[in-house]
Homo-oligomer: A and B are copies of this chain.
Amino acid sequence: MISFESDYINGVHPEILKRIIETNSEVEPGYGFDSHTKNAVAMIRNACGCQDAEIFLATGGTQTNQLVISAVLKSYEGVVAAETGHVGVHEAGAIEYSGHKVLTLPQHEGKIDARELKSYLETFHADGNREHMVYPGMVYISHPTEYGSLYSESELKAISRVCRKYRIPLYLDGARFVYGITSSRTDLTLAGIAKLTDIFYIGGTKAGTLCGEAIVFTKKNMPEHFLTIAKQHGALLAKGRLLGVQFEALFTSDLYLKIGLHANLMKDKLLKILKSFNMKFFYESPTNQQFVIFENSFLKELEKEVCVSFWEKYDDTHTVVRFATSWSTTDEDLARLEEILGKLAQREG
């Protein structure tokens, strides 16, 4: 059985594990005051080209989104997101649990459009009833999106410009950040994103750590007493070193870039294989997630030997599934996939 189910099916990247082992017997203070967290923060600042970035390490993506959004928004504000945004769909209402509405915009391959955002904000502020409505207080985008798509630099600039005009922060959910900046089809860099957003996070969990997401406040805009707010959310690890050591490793010798490049290379090979069998794409993304439409009976056979992720029903006889590559995808996995597809194609033919 081989698996392309997701990018969090394996343990931890060997380089990171090595660092966990090496530092294990050190005595370190808790709650993120350890030397490794401090070091990781400095390394991330460097990589962002943003020396005064304020950084906090949390354990997971939903926790991060709830923490950031609720800490930044005022009580009467909501967060604007694409209708397919993770915060609005697959976080079990974590944002609403913290008291805030997710205000939705149409999605285009998972992305919002700067003009639609502008138009929404204009309409809102012109509405005589706006005092009875939820104020848009932040814009949330994911990059890569839930569909693996990427904003171009000009798209991100346009969104950033609208946010600044309306003085609302732009927050970028980077659960799969490393797979975005290392795509061959992006013109956005880590530093570029840091400049255009107000807050973003660099996901660790889906990029080779056991857990951990690095939240970056790029404009000296970390809310006051953020550590206390994190504690109140149950988001403060006693052994903060677990997060510190992993991000330290991720930013040592550009490991995060190597991980991203590897997954994207594997993705290119995956695409080539899928296309060689004339597979139909639901969405062919520039990053590590690919969405393929299978005839149901074919899929049933495929799933006996390959683990993929159900995405959605396409029609009565077809299904969309997701293939994900990651730091842990091997050439052997791909060769085996090619072999299995070949066998199934032959049987069909």
Contact = CB atoms under 8 A, between A and B. Distances in A.
A31 to B, nearest CB: 8
This chain: copies in complex: 4
A8 interface: yes
A70 interface: yes
A206 B1 CA distance: 38
Contact of A92 (B23, B62, B232): B232
Contacts of A71: 75
Interface in A122-158: 128-129, 131-135
A224 interface: yes
Contacts of A132: 90-92, 228, 231
B96 A134 contact: yes
Contact of A60 (B8, B225, B238): B238
Interface SS of A by simple majority: loop
A232 B75 contact: yes
A315 to B, nearest CB: 14
A239 interface: yes
Contacts of A25: 10-11, 328
Contacts of A101: 93, 96, 102
A9 interface: yes
A169 interface: no
Interface string A84-114: 0000011111111101111000000000000
A131 B24 contact: no
A94 B234 contact: yes
A10 B27 contact: yes
Size category, A interface: 35 or more
Interface in A4-43: 5-6, 8-12, 14, 17, 20-21, 23-30
Nearest to A71: B75
A21 B95 CA distance: 35
Most B CB contacts (10 A, CB to CB) among A64, A134, A237 go to A134
B60 A234 contact: yes
A211 B239 contact: yes
Contacts of A99: 93, 96-97, 99
Contacts of A237: 59-60, 205, 211
